[in-house]
Each structure stands twice: as C-alpha cells, then as structure tokens.
Amino acid sequence: MRSSLHFLAGAEGAPGRAPSEERPSDDEALDAYSRVVIAVARDLAPSVANLRVTRRLRGGRTAMGGGSAVVITPDGFLVTSAHVVEGSRSGSASFVDGREMRFAVVGADPLSDIAVLRADAEDLVPAQLGDASGLRVGQLVVAIGNPHGYAGSVTAGVVSALGRSLPVGRRGGPRRMVENVVQTDAALNPGNSGGALVDGGGRVVGINTAVAGVGLGLAVPINDATRRIISTLMADGRVRRAWLGVAVGPRPLPPRVAGRLGRGNAVEVIEVVDGSPAALAGLHPEDLLVELDGIRLEGADDLQRMMTVERIGAAVRATVVREGELRAITLTPGELPE
C-alpha cells in the first residue's frame, strides 16, 4: 500500500517526475512507420494529379470518368492506367496546389495498362521512378492517388504478394497477361487507378490499376519492361508487338518426349486464328510448342515475353510435338493488330 501511495504521490508531482516529463513529445510519439508514410505523402502529393476524362460512347453520347496520374517529367509528361483514359483523347488534370490544366493522351498501351499523357505545363514536380524487382513481401508501400482533385488520398500497407499476373486489354480486343504485378493490402479508393504505389524511399514502384477484392489492391510494376513501354509511348505514341495468332496454355509433355528433353512441360496450342502467321506456318490445335529460337517454352508468359517488336517479320524456328513426335516448323510473326 505504501509503495502504491508513494507512486501516486509521485504522479501528482511530489517526489516523482512532473506529468509533462512523463508524456513523450510529438516527435517521440511518431513511430518509424508513421514518419515514413508522412514523408512519402508529403513528397509525392505534388506529383499526383486528379484526372477528369470525357469518353465518347456509341450513338454520339459522352460519359465522364476519372482517375489519377503520376508526373514523370517537369515539362508535363504523366503516366496513368490505360483503362482510365480508354476512349478519350484529352481531359483535365488538377493538382494539390490548386492548379488545373488540360492534357492530351500521347499514347496508351492496353496490353500493359499503361498510358502516357502530356499536360500544358513546364514546371511540374516529377516523381522518382523506382524498380519493383527489388520489392519483398512484407515491405511497406504507400498508395497515393488524387481521386477528388485538390486533396490527395493516402493509404499505407505492405506488399502482400509478388509475381501475380493480371489480364488486361481493350474491351473486345486482344488480351494479355501483365506479369509480376504487385499485390498490396494498401486500400485503393475509387479514383485511385493510375496513381502511384510508392516504397519507403519515396520511389514509385507501381501504377495502381485495379481493386481485386476487399483489402486487396494490384499495381502494374515499374521495372525495365515498363520503362521501355513508357519511353516508347512518349516517343511513338504506341507500342508494337509481334503476333503469332494462337491461344495457348501449359501442358505436360508426353512421358517419352519429357524423358528425351529432360523436362516435363510445354505450351499447348489451343486455338489458331484463321489467316494468322501460325495458321500460315501450319501450326495446329493440340500441337505442343517446346522451343522458339532455342528458348524453352513452359507457359504462356514464356511465349508472350518473346513477342517483341524485333521479331515482327523475322523468321523463327519452332520445335513442336505433334502426335508424340518432335517436329521443326518455321514461323514468321506478324504485327499484333490494334
């Protein structure tokens, strides 16, 4: 009892510490996590724009849409999600400092869900682009958007998974898988598509692109492939890709062939588009693609990675399993139609 009374007496200021000394300062109360989020939000807010977009619909109608975008150069280039500006050529961008300006769509690539815009400005604050290939599961990330115009939206969380794939593409057009999508539990509010996913160092490591479910967000990664797409859109306004005209999926190899090749999987041709390069080369449904120009194919993404602009019109040698036998076929990829 005496010790308790002594403690209480100290708390009232008799022989103990003064109440003001017991409470931490505001700086001390902020943990490292909070400091990082506050710093990232402060530094990135001027670089994230709110977009207002007018879309053209069938029958001459129009519809309003919106999203966010990230400034990448002082002279007005911004990056957003392709689906945010789908069906539009221009719109308006507003920033947290109250400025509002027109932008034009320089180019959009639905097959990576990346678009580049150009705003009427020469003094924007660019964000620093990072590299998502260095992310680790559990790492702190901050999602920053500008869904309402003059007030940015900030949510924080962790990288919950890496290596996910996201199906993208224009409605009614070709579809493709974006590889190595970043999955995070940082909440993505309405209008945050096209905004920035940022690491603790303030570097943009992804472009927020979709809400896949409660507590689940996805972002297209910023990496070497994405940087090339952004540069190509800035220079040419479009991204060219090679095309064979096949739908494929993974398939185990027949045991005898698997033993001979020393591996178990290949890519099955599920469908061949009439008149496509694959059809002209004699590729058939149920053929198993084993190699293309000596590169092993074990999944659809392996074939997708090879369909770069350099292969358009260039003959490639394919190794195919047909009726249990290995065969060689020469394919000449065309250009993927828009």
Q: What is the pLDDT of residues 159-202, one digit of tens each?
A: 999 988 777 776 666 667 787 889 998 887 767 889 999 999 99
pLDDT at 12 over 70: no
pLDDT greater at residue 285 or residue 300: 285
10: number of CA atoms within 13 Å, CB side?
11
Can you tell me the distance from the alpha carbon of 29 to that of 208, in angstroms, rounded to the nearest whole number?
A: 31
Of 153, 193, 199, 287, which residue is the catalytic one? 193
pLDDT at 329 over 90: yes
Closest CA to 333 of 276, 250, 249: 276
Element (H, E) at 221: strand 216-221
68 is annotated as an active-site residue: no
pLDDT at 110 over 70: yes
Place of tokens 């940082």: 186
- pLDDT, mean of residues 45-59: 84
Closest CA to 193 of 230, 146, 158, 228: 146
pLDDT greater at residue 225 or residue 118: 118
284 is annotated as an active-site residue: no
Q: Chain-wide mean pLDDT for the chain?
A: 85
Tell me: the pLDDT tens digits for 208-252?
Answer: 986 555 557 899 999 998 999 999 999 999 999 999 999 888 899
Burial class (CB in 10 A: 0-12, 13-18, 19+), 104: middle
Residue 11's pLDDT band, with cuts at 50, 70 and 90, is very low
Element (H, E) at 145: strand 140-145
Of 83, 109, 276, 302, which residue is the catalytic one? 83
What DSSP letter does each residue of 223-268 carry, written as one string? SHHHHHHHHHHHHHSS---EE--EEEEEEEPPHHHHHHHT--EEEE
Q: What is the pLDDT of residue 184?
A: 92
pLDDT at 19 over 90: no
Q: pTM for the whole thing?
A: 0.80
Q: What is the pLDDT of residue 9?
A: 41
**Four-residue CA torsion sign, 267, 113, 143, 73:** positive
Instruction: Give the CA distances from residue 14 to residues 7, 17, 277, in Å, rounded to whole numbers and listed in that order.
Output: 10, 8, 90
pLDDT at 22 over 90: no
148 is annotated as an active-site residue: no
Phi–psi pair at 93, nearest 5 degrees = -120, 135
Of 47, 88, 109, 113, which residue is the catalytic one? 113
Residue 1's pLDDT band, with cuts at 50, 70 and 90, is very low
